[in-house]
Amino acid sequence: MARAQGRPDPRLLALALLLVGVIVAAVHWPVLDCRALALDDAAFVTHNPLVTHPSWNSAGRFFGEVLEPSTVKGYYTPLTMTSLMLDYAMGGRPEDPRAFHRTSLLLHALCSMLLALLLYQFFGGLVPAVAAGLVFGLHPLMVEPVAWIAERKTLLATLFALGSMLGYLQYCWRKEWRWMAVSAALFLLALLSKPTVVMLPLLLLLLDYWPLRRFDARAIPEKWPHFLLAAASGAITLVSHQRTAGIGEASSSDFLQVPVRVGYLLSFYLGKIAWPSDLCIAYPPPDPFTLSNPVVLGGVLGVCALTALLWMRPRRARGPLACWLFFVLALAPTLGAVKYSWVIASNKYVHFPAIGLAVLLASTLAAAWGSPRLKAPVPRAALALVLCALLAFEAAGARAALRSWTDSLTLFRQAARLAPESSVIQNELGVLLEDSSPEESITHLQRAVELEPAYGEAQYNLGVAQGEHGMLAESVLHFREAARLLPADADAAYNLGAAVRLQGRLDEAEAQFRRALQLRPDHVQAMQQLAGLLAARGKFEAAIAEFRKGVALAPDDPGLRFGLAAALSLLGSHARESVQQIRQALRLRPDWPEALNALAWAQATSSDDSIRNAGEALRLASQAVELTNRRRPDILDTQASALAALGRFAEAARTAGEAASMAQRSGAVSLAASIRSRAALYERGKAYTENPAQGSAKVP
């Protein structure tokens, strides 16, 4: 059984491993300034309430929601989610993700260090182990798991899997079951980080075959803890994914396609490892994805030839075959036999499987470094020079890859250039451009819908972009399609309701708002829209009930309190409560002209002495006039009423006349007539007073 010979001073070993970590961290250091958010970062961080509200309760739910995770659709990753939550608690934010990147950078450096230690334990020779560890750590394909916040799961899983292998190695040498327990415990942590490391028990068997050379009848039974954990994790993963994100149904043609897919992807990844250029966060499948495509056929034949060549090597030279099988088995969960993702290939999938290729590299370097032919200074210096050149090439490639992660727009423009036929990439780019370039945003979203008409999120986002751009009829069409494709999405129903309400289809709007609330009872926006619609249709009691529910759910929302005040005012018998709600809205939003105007009007015109306060009314109205640059006739009308309430009738008449003229010019004929009638009162020395039982003439 292989074991490191000529063990160096432990301090030298520790220094060498530390050097690996420092170099890997130094090359990836610019990641701390990266601001890009990738595809599922929203689900993992920005829109995940358990992450953004760190607590013991959040951690408990991450670990307790085993078969149906509620905040991230897909498989069970409680350790990853807790790690991200802790980073958020330490200041990590979507607009400043440095805390997330700092942890990921540390984890990747540790992975490189543990890999170098493992390789040293396998083959001896510190220089080959360090070199192979650096080749792994600096490779440009490794940038993605470090820069992609949600890929914390990949880094944690690889780290704990390496720890599990090191623990297993101690068991093999010491024959102490406590080391097998350590290995199994670390494997459990890896599975709780990302279950795609589920093949580790088989990988340990490969290590038994080579380089440990201890594969015998006891090899499988002794790993029963690992196999038990793998089986449990596999079952949990399938159930949780099916219940949350779903698993694509496989047909007979899909099964026939699996060997083609596997062969192509293995060749694709080998090509990216050998020449890591044009890196992308999601690679498009070849078109067509059949053997009639020369690219696919060449990849499949190349993989078959490589496997056959390695299989036919002499038994004594079984290292390359074992390492190749390690790479294939570690990649197997991501090769598409089970359809759990739309992504066919991604750089992050290589992080853990690359350990197999690193083992082969370390073995080759150890043999070369210990060869009598290379013991002379010149050959060794030449080999060291080649290794340094390779590492420098990798470091330059990693820095170039990191530049793509500068910000989200840079990342997705790069992705759209490399994968222009990806509907998901087009959709994400369209969303990113909504504020800065609305027309370009709509173009990308339209392209996403053209590429995949059944893509509900793209239909929804296109509806939002068109609605904000004034294309109401078009947005309604896409909202309808989004609601059909996403029948369980409350936001799709809500936005369809908001759009058809603008078209005057009030019955349909009310139905969609109610559907949104049925899907998500705490959907405050839908509650507010429904309440406003009910109030507009004269159903004041029902509107007040909905507004009260909204205020109970979101007491710090000034819009809900202002809407409740409006409904109470329209009902005509709750003037005091209406004023109280307006005051609460102003406490939450002090410079809100509409709320200032509403409260000033009530205090200037109410016949209720407990509400009437002409002095404060004038102060509030004057503040609103200033905030609106004296361009709102309704607010000038309120100021005039406050002046009249104070007995300053001449000023009130002039201000009312100005307001009436402004309203007339703007086409608000009815408002102009009302203001003139009040101006006539001021000219006769009378203030305007409302009858509270009839409701306010100025609804907030």
H or E, element range at 211: none
CA angle 337, 341, 345 (to 5 degrees): 75
Q: What proportion of the chain, given as a percentage, has pLDDT over 70?
A: 95
Average pLDDT over residues 649-668: 93
Q: Is the pLDDT of residue 321 over 80?
A: yes
Nearest Cα residue to 476 out of 461, 457, 460, 496:
496
DSSP-derived letter for residue 436 is: T
Report residue 349 as tokens: 């999938």
Q: Is the pLDDT of residue 186 over 90?
A: yes
Other CB atoms within 10 A of residue 37 CB: 24
Q: What's the pLDDT band for 149 if we cut at 50, 70, 90?
A: very high
d(CA 406, CA 397): 15
Q: Residues 117-134: pLDDT tens digits?
A: 999 999 988 999 999 999
Average pLDDT over residues 335-349: 81
Of 238-242, 429-433, 518-522, 571-575, where does mean pLDDT reach its minimum? 571-575
Q: Is the pLDDT of residue 696 over 60?
A: no
Measured in Å, how far apart are the chain's first and last C-alpha atoms? 83
**Which pLDDT score is estimated for 282?**
87
Average pLDDT over residues 165-188: 96
Q: What's the pLDDT band for 651 if we cut at 50, 70, 90?
A: very high
Q: Is the pLDDT of residue 519 over 70?
A: yes
Other CB atoms within 10 A of residue 328 CB: 17
Could you write out the DSSP letters of every residue in 287-311?
SS-STTSHHHHHHHHHHHHHHHHHH
**Which pLDDT score is estimated for 318?**
86
Report residue 583 as tokens: 């005051």
**Which pLDDT score is estimated for 27?**
98
d(CA 641, CA 242): 64
Buried b (16+ CB within 10 A) or exposed e, 455-474: bbbbbbbbbbbbbeeebeeb
CA angle 23, 140, 349 (to 5 degrees): 115
Residues listed for the chain: 700
Average pLDDT value for the chain = 92
Q: Residues 8-23: pLDDT tens digits?
A: 678 999 999 999 999 9
Report residue 486 as tokens: 């996403």
Report residue 671 as tokens: 């408002």
Report residue 42 as tokens: 């929203």
d(CA 135, CA 24): 10
**Which pLDDT score is estimated for 3?**
53
CA angle 466, 500, 434 (to 5 degrees): 20
Report residue 613 as tokens: 């306060």
Distant-in-sequence, close-in-space partners of 367: CB < 8 Å, separation ≥ 6: none
Q: Residues 55-102: pLDDT tens digits?
A: 999 999 999 999 988 888 888 999 999 999 999 999 999 999 999 999
d(CA 324, CA 353): 10
Q: What is the 3-class SS of 159-209, one letter each residue?
A: HHHHHHHHHHHHHHHHCCHHHHHHHHHHHHHHHHHCHHHCCHHHHHHHHHH
Q: Residues 376-420: pLDDT tens digits?
A: 888 888 999 999 999 999 999 999 999 999 999 999 999 999 999
**Which pLDDT score is estimated for 650?**
94
Average pLDDT over residues 342-356: 93
Nearest Cα residue to 84 out of 67, 101, 105:
101
H or E, element range at 330: helix 319-331
Residue 93 phi, psi dihedral angles, 5° rounding:
-140, 155
Average pLDDT over residues 287-304: 93
Q: What share of the chain is helix, strand, coil (3-state, %, to 5)?
A: 75, 0, 25
Name the 3-class secondary structure at 40.
coil
DSSP-derived letter for residue 43 is: I
Q: Residues 243-278: pLDDT tens digits?
A: 887 766 555 556 678 899 999 999 999 999 999 999
Residue 177 phi, psi dihedral angles, 5° rounding:
-65, -20
d(CA 118, CA 136): 13
Contact of 496 with 512, CB cutoff 8 Å: yes
Q: What's the pLDDT band for 631 if we cut at 50, 70, 90?
A: very high
Average pLDDT over residues 603-625: 92
Average pLDDT over residues 541-564: 93
Could you write out the DSSP letters of every residue in 81-96?
HHHHHHHHHTT-BTTB
**Which pLDDT score is estimated for 686?**
93
> Can you name the residues that pair with 93 across neighbouring β-strands?
96
Residue 342 phi, psi dihedral angles, 5° rounding:
-80, -15
Of 283-287, 451-455, 614-618, 643-647, where does mean pLDDT reach its minimum? 283-287
d(CA 669, CA 238): 65
Cα torsion at 412, 415, 420, 423 (round to 10°)?
-60
Report residue 457 as tokens: 């999120």
Nearest Cα residue to 698 out of 642, 629, 653, 648:
642
CA distances from 48 to 57, 84, 417, 494, 644 (A): 14, 10, 30, 20, 53
Q: Is the pLDDT of residue 2 over 70?
A: no
d(CA 275, CA 421): 23
Radius of gyration from C-alpha coordinates of the chain:
34
Average pLDDT over residues 629-645: 94
d(CA 94, CA 685): 60
d(CA 581, CA 599): 10
Contact of 624 with 638, CB cutoff 8 Å: yes
CATH architecture of 422-521: Alpha Horseshoe (1.25)
**Which pLDDT score is estimated for 256?**
74
Q: Is the pLDDT of residue 317 over 90?
A: no
**Which pLDDT score is estimated for 250?**
53
> Can you name the residues that pair with 283 across neighbouring β-strands?
345
Helices 319-331/294-311 angle, 10° precision? 140
Q: Where are the domains of the chain?
A: 10-400, 422-521
Distant-in-sequence, close-in-space partners of 542: CB < 8 Å, separation ≥ 6: 534
Contact of 123 with 364, CB cutoff 8 Å: no
Name the 3-class secondary structure at 355.
helix
**Which pLDDT score is estimated for 249?**
59
Cis upstream peptide for 211 (omega within 30°): yes
Q: Is the pLDDT of residue 502 over 60?
A: yes
d(CA 248, CA 341): 9
Q: What proportion of the chain, given as a percentage, has pLDDT over 90?
A: 81
Average pLDDT over residues 184-211: 97
Report residue 525 as tokens: 């926006």
Q: How many helices (H) and strands (E) in the chain? A: 33, 0
**Which pLDDT score is estimated for 99?**
97
Other CB atoms within 10 A of residue 305 CB: 10
Average pLDDT over residues 47-61: 93
Contact of 299 with 267, CB cutoff 8 Å: yes
